[in-house]
Amino acid sequence: MIYSLHGKLIHKEQGTAVVECAGVGYMCLITFNTLKALPEIGKDAFLYTYMTVREDAVNLIGFAEKSELDSFKMLTSINGVGAKVALAILSSLLPEEIAAAVLSGDVGLITKAPGVGKKLAQRIILELNDKIASYSVSNTASGTSTVASISNENVQNAIDALTVLGYSPANVLPIISKLDITLPTEQLIALTLKELGKSR
């Protein structure tokens, strides 16, 4: 498994980027958000990667942010969501927007992605909400508190949303506790993901 690429960006276009590492050019499928984050051709580039293997194709998928990679893994774990659909969703929405849509049950936001109909959007929201619920039950059973000494609905919602993206409360709580907890949930999520990205 190739975890990441770090080298010279030699090509980029919508949906594709090529990073040259030690003389080998690795072509990656990318989201629109990753395309926007890439440097100019010839500059140093870093991508987190995920490899998909099928009978007819082996593809390397690149992401500018780890939160995008985590969201991709989370989305493709859902029945009916393949790599193509997950890339379409992540091209239309940022990870924090996906998490916020799941928490609020906003089917319309997820259907903005090409190829995602109402039924599939509903399934995504249902399965990811189940993930939040199961995590909460697990924490309660073990006697741990998700929000520790912080009692705020926006904070709880932000932690729940970050759980959807694959982060544990133990990782995100120290970051959120340093933020202005009166901020909207989506902003708390975005700021926390930005800090988590710095620790790569």
> What pLDDT score was predicted for residue 143?
45
> What pLDDT score was predicted for residue 62?
97
Q: Are 163 and 144 in contact (CB under 8 A)?
A: no
Query: How far apart, in Å, are the Cα atoms of 163 and each of 38, 93, 95, 99, 128?
Result: 27, 17, 12, 9, 9
Q: CA 73 to CA 75: how far, in whole Å?
A: 6
Q: Dihedral, CA atoms, 177, 181, 187, 190, nearest 10 degrees?
A: 10
Map out the domains of the chain with their CATH numbers.
4-64 (2.40.50.140), 68-198 (1.10.150.20)
Q: CA 115 to CA 27: how far, in whole Å?
A: 24
> What pLDDT score was predicted for residue 140?
41
> What pLDDT score was predicted for residue 134?
54
What tokens does 158 get?
Answer: 């932000």
Q: CA 83 to CA 71: how far, in whole Å?
A: 11
pLDDT in tens, the chain (200 residues): 789 999 999 999 999 999 999 999 999 999 999 999 999 999 999 999 999 988 888 899 999 998 899 889 989 989 889 999 999 999 999 888 888 888 888 999 999 999 899 999 999 998 887 766 554 444 444 444 444 444 477 788 888 888 777 787 778 888 888 888 788 888 888 888 888 876 55
> What pLDDT score was predicted for residue 101?
86
> What pLDDT score was predicted for residue 150?
47
Q: Are 196 and 64 in contact (CB under 8 A)?
A: no
* Entry pTM: 0.75
